[in-house]
Chains A and B, each alone.
With several copies, the nearest count.
Chain A
Amino acid sequence: MAKPDLSVEISGIKLRNPVMTASGTFGYGKEFSQYLDLEKIGAIITKGLSLRPKAGNPTPRIVETPGGMLNAIGLQNVGIDAFIQEKLPFLRTVNTPVIVNLYGNTLEEYGALAEKLDRLPEVAGLEVNISCPNVKQGGIVFGTDPAAAAEVVGLVRRSTSKPLIVKLSPNVTDIVRMADACVSAGADALSLINTLTGMAIDLEKRRPVLANVTGGLSGPAIKPVALRMVWQVSMAVTVPIIGIGGIMSATDALEFILAGATAVQVGTANFLDPSAAQTVAAGIEDYLAKNGIGHIKELIGALRV
C-alpha cells in the first residue's frame, strides 16, 4: 500500500504532518533537538514572544495537579530582538515551518511586534495569544471579550501579511462568539485551547502553591473541554482549526482531527516524553496505514454526530 499522506495546509503554511509543538512547552525547538527529529513534525511554535524582554513571575511557577499541571510562567521571554539574534539562527537550520506565538499587554505592542515579525522570512506564520491582560483597560483579558479580541486581531491583521492564527482562551462562556469575532477580524486560522485558569493550595503552608496564586491548567485533565470547544468552533467557522489540550498520543490527536481540527499541538506531553510530538505524528501515520486511509484529510471533521 502507498504511504498515507499526512500533509495539511494551514492558510498557506504547508505542514508535512498535522503535529506541531505548543507554545511555551517546547522552548525554541533547540532544547528538544537531541530527543527527536525536528524534521519529522509539522511545525514548531515558539514560546510566547513580546516586544521587550519579559521577566515573568516569581517562583514557584509550576505545580502538578491531578492529570494535569498549572503553570504561571508569566510569559517570560527574551523579547523580539534577542529572539532574532539568539533563537532564529538555529531555527533557520531546521527544515520545518516556524510559527511565532506572540502577545502584548497593549494593543500597540501587538501591532509593533507583528510588524517586526512580518519582515522575517524565517517566520512562516504568527500565532496570536490573546489570553493576556490588557494593561490599559484595567487588566481585562483581551481573550475573554469579543470586541477586545477583534480589535487586537484586526490590528495584527493590518500589520502583517503572514498567515495569522489566533489562539483562543477557554475561560469564556461562549467560545463560538470569540471564534466568530476573531475570524471576522481577519484570523486565517484558530488554535484552541489555551490553558484553563486554576489554582493549587499548599495546606501546610496555607498558601497558594504558585507565587502568582493562579495559573493555567494544561495536560490530559483538560482534554474533554478542549475537544468540546474544537468541535463547537469547527461547526461554526470555515477557517482551519488547530486542536490543543491534553494530547498525549496519536489517538488523542486523531480525536481532535475527527472533531474538526486540521492540525494539532502537543504541549504538556513534551515534558513527559520529549519525543512526544514525533511519536504522535508517527502514530497517526501508522493509524492511517492500518486503516487504509490514504489522506489525513479524510478524517478532518469526520465525526458522525
Chain B
Amino acid sequence: MQFKSMVISNVQVSPGYFRMRMTAPPAIVAATPGQFVMVRVRDAIDPLLRRPFGIFDLGTFTTEYTDCGRQTFCEILYKVVGKGTEMLASLHHGDHLDLLAPLGKGFAAGEPAEEKILVGGGVGLAPLYFLAKELAKTSKVRLFAGGRNKEDILCITEFERLGVETYVATDDGTLGDQGLVTQVLEKHLAATGGSKTLFACGPFPMLKAVAGIADRYNLECQVSLEGYMACGVGACLGCVTKGKNHSEETPDFRCVCKDGPVFPYRELKWD
C-alpha cells in the first residue's frame, strides 16, 4: 500500500546510524520480517527516486494523540551513506514522508523446533531484528553480527532483550572477536550440531560466504539481497539478480524487489 506517514522519532543509535519510527496504517502489521519499505524522502525532484529500507520493527503504541488511543508504527534502521539518507537523518518528529509498504517477499520462519541462526553485516541487522522478534517466540535464536568496527554493531542490547544469544565480530577487533563474522559463524557451526536454519542479511560478499557455509554444512539458508531499485514493485527490472538457471539464452533474472529481497540461497546464481 501507499500511505503518508509522520515521523515519530529519529534517533542516532551509533555514529552514522539512525533509527526512525514512523506512523503507519494498522494494515502494516500483516508485514513479514524481511519485507521492506520504499520511502519518498522529499516531495521534490532531489532526491528523485524512493529509497528502500528493511522493516526493523513494527507495532502499536498507546498514545492520547489519536482518537482510538493507539497508533501503529513501523521502524527502519538506516546508515547515512548519501544524499537520501542524509536528508532522512535531518527529519524530526512531525515531519512527513510518503511510503510504499510492505514490499517484497520476507523470510519463511521454518520449523519452530529448529534453532535459528541470524547473520548480519552492519546495517544488514535491520530486518533481522523484526525477524528475531518473531522467531524468538517459538525458537532458540542466535545472532552473529559483524562490522568493520564497533560503531557498525547495532542494537545488540535490543536483540538480547528478546532472549537472542549474540556473537560479535569486527574487522578491527574493537568489539567482539577480531575477524569476519562468517569465520565466527563457521567456528560455531563446526563446534555444535543439530538442525539449524540460517538467515542472513548484509553485503554481498558476506552473503556469498554464508551461502558457502550453508552448502558445506548442508543447512537451509535464506539471504536478503540489495539492489538498485526504481519501482520496488517488479516493473522496471532495475533490481534484478541472477536466478540459479540463468544463462544468456534462457534468462532467469529475479527481481530483488518482488521475488525477493529474501531468497533461499539455492535459488540464486552465486558467481
Contact = CB atoms under 8 A, between A and B. Distances in A.
A1 interface: no
14 contacts: A25-B231, A27-B234, A27-B236, A31-B258, A35-B2, A55-B251, A56-B251, A59-B240, A61-B228, A62-B239, A64-B48, A67-B46, A71-B230, A272-B40
A274 B238 contact: no
A273 B45 CA distance: 12
Interface string A147-175: 00000000000000000000000000000
Contact of A73 (B40, B238, B241): B238
Interface in B1-59: 1-2, 40, 45-50
A17 B49 CA distance: 27
A69 B48 contact: yes
Interface string B216-251: 000000000001111111111111110000111011
A6 to B, nearest CB: 24
Interface string A71-104: 1010010000000000000000000000000000
A31 B250 contact: no
Interface in A156-197: none
B46 A76 contact: no
Contact of A274 (B49, B100, B239, B253): B100
Contacts of A283: none
A128 to B, nearest CB: 20
Given A55-B253, A271-B232, 16 more contacts: A25-B236, A32-B235, A53-B250, A56-B251, A56-B253, A59-B238, A59-B240, A62-B238, A66-B45, A67-B45, A67-B48, A71-B238, A76-B240, A271-B50, A272-B48, A274-B100
A245 interface: no
Given A63-B228, A66-B46, A71-B230, A25 B235 contact: yes
Nearest to B252: A55
Contacts of A73: 236-238
A102 B251 CA distance: 19
A17 to B, nearest CB: 21
B49 A76 contact: no
Contacts of B246: 55
Nearest to A74: B237
Contact of B2 (A56, A220, A248, A275): A275
Contact of A59 (B2, B40, B47, B241): B241
A60 B227 CA distance: 8
Closest 10 CB pairs of A and B: A27-B235, A55-B251, A62-B238, A31-B235, A271-B230, A31-B233, A60-B228, A31-B234, A61-B238, A220-B45
Contact of A31 (B2, B50, B231): B231
B45 A76 contact: no
A256 interface: no
Nearest to B241: A59
A67 B42 CA distance: 13
Interface string A27-56: 100011011000000000001000001111
Interface of A: 24-27, 31-32, 34-35, 47, 53-56, 59-64, 66-69, 71, 73, 76, 219-220, 248, 268, 270-275
Contacts of B258: 31
B237 A272 contact: no
Nearest to B249: A55
Contacts of A248: 45
Contacts of B233: 27, 31-32, 35, 274
A271 B49 contact: yes
Contacts of B231: 25, 27, 31, 270-271, 274
A209 to B, nearest CB: 9
B237 A68 contact: no
Contacts of A268: 48, 230
A56 B237 contact: yes
A286 B232 CA distance: 30
Contacts of B228: 59-63
B88 to A, nearest CB: 15
A25 B49 CA distance: 13
B259 to A, nearest CB: 12
B248 A270 contact: no
Nearest to B230: A271
A218 to B, nearest CB: 10
B240 A270 contact: no
Given A67-B46, A69-B48, A24 B236 contact: yes
A272 B248 contact: no
B200 to A, nearest CB: 20
Contacts of B240: 56, 59, 61, 76
A66 B2 CA distance: 25
Contacts of A47: 235, 237
Residue of B45, B228, B232, B236 contacting most chain A CB atoms (<10 Å): B236
A260 B124 CA distance: 37
Contact of A76 (B2, B227, B251): B251
Nearest to B246: A55
